[in-house]
């Protein structure tokens, strides 16, 4: 597999209106292979989301470069699909209209828009809710819509920033299984930020652990459980061993963050 995303020496310094500097990221070097599912795990405020926003083109690095398929990322683009923790749906558009939004912006023919929207509505389990508006949906259904909208645009890479963080535990588990099932069939490249250790292990082929701020990648860990994955794997001795290792890593970084 080739490297699809290349993060080269990326750092980020924020400057307050009074000129005070805060270093969010120290130089990060990281490669994500095509069709890989990578989770980024770390304590709060460590720069995980900052890195994801830079890859999305929503923020710019203070130094370094991000390449996607060899092309420098300079701003947002249809080649990257972004899903946030807040659902970011257009409240005045129905489920189907939200999913079709990017396709309409690209002037895709109407029939093709409908076909793609119908396919992803079925894929995320929203058949029968096509004409509902976001305020009529539960949090889980809104996030299903956001994921369908991102996938409908057929991005090269899917970027998810704690997408299930606002959901109740049971809905969160179901959404993990849903997204993993979609990835297993669609084989998209996925970069997924989370602070949930179980989620990071269950979803990923590889977990990257961030240090406390200023963030850097401290550890990378391969997760070699076979696919399709069943939720019962979370209680296996192998899963628990990885969880114990990552828990220690995160605990050490969280304590370091408190010292700072």
The reply to whether 67 falls in a domain is no
Q: In this predicted model, what pLDDT tens digit does every residue of 120-136 receive, in sequence order? A: 999 888 999 999 999 99
Q: Which residue in this structure is represented by tokens 């399709």?
A: 228
Tens-digit pLDDT string for the chain (260 aa): 576 899 999 999 999 888 888 899 999 999 999 999 999 998 888 888 999 999 999 999 999 999 999 999 999 988 999 998 777 899 999 999 999 998 988 888 999 999 999 999 998 889 999 999 999 999 889 999 999 999 898 899 999 999 888 888 888 898 899 899 889 888 889 999 998 999 999 999 999 999 888 888 999 999 999 999 988 999 999 999 999 999 998 888 777 665 55
Closest CA to 162 of 196, 138, 204: 196
The reply to whether 220 falls in a domain is yes
The reply to whether 236 falls in a domain is yes
Reported pTM: 0.91
CATH for 227: 3.40.50.300
**85: exposed, middle or buried (C-beta count within 10 Å: 0-12, 13-18, 19+)?**
middle
The reply to whether 52 falls in a domain is yes
The reply to whether 129 falls in a domain is no
The reply to whether 238 falls in a domain is yes
The reply to whether 212 falls in a domain is yes
- Inter-residue contact 145 to 178 (CB < 8 Å): no
Total structural domains in the chain? 1
Cβ-based neighbour number of residue 56 at 10 Å: 21
The reply to whether 99 falls in a domain is no
- Inter-residue contact 29 to 215 (CB < 8 Å): no
- Full residue range of the structural domain in which residue 186 is found: 36-59+75-79+155-259
């Amino acid at each position: 597999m080739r490297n699809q995303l290349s993060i080269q020496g990326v750092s980020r310094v924020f400057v307050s209106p009074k000129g005070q500097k805060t270093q969010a990221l120290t130089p990060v070097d990281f490669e994500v292979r095509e069709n890989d599912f990578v989770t980024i795990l770390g304590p709060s405020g460590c720069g995980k989301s900052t890195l994801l926003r830079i890859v999305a083109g929503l923020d710019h690095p203070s130094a370094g470069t991000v390449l996607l398929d060899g092309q420098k990322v300079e701003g947002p683009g249809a080649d990257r699909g972004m899903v946030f923790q807040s659902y970011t749906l257009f409240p005045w558009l129905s489920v189907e209209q939200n999913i079709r939004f990017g396709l309409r912006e690209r002037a895709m023919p109407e029939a093709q828009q409908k076909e793609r929207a119908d396919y992803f509505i079925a894929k995320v389990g929203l058949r029968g809710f096509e004409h509902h508006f976001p305020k009529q949906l539960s949090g889980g259904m809104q996030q299903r819509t956001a994921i369908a909208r991102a996938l409908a645009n057929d991005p090269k890479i899917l970027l998810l920033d704690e997408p299930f963080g606002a959901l109740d535990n049971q809905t969160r588990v179901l959404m993990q299984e849903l997204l993993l099932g979609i990835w297993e069939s669609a084989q998209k490249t996925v970069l997924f930020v989370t602070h949930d250790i179980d989620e990071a292990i269950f979803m990923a082929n590889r977990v990257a652990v961030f240090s406390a701020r200023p963030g850097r990648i401290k550890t990378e860990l391969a997760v070699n459980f076979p696919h399709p994955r069943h939720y019962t794997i979370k209680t296996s001795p192998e899963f628990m061993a990885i969880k114990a290792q990552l828990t220690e890593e995160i605990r050490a970084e969280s304590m370091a963050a408190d010292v700072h």
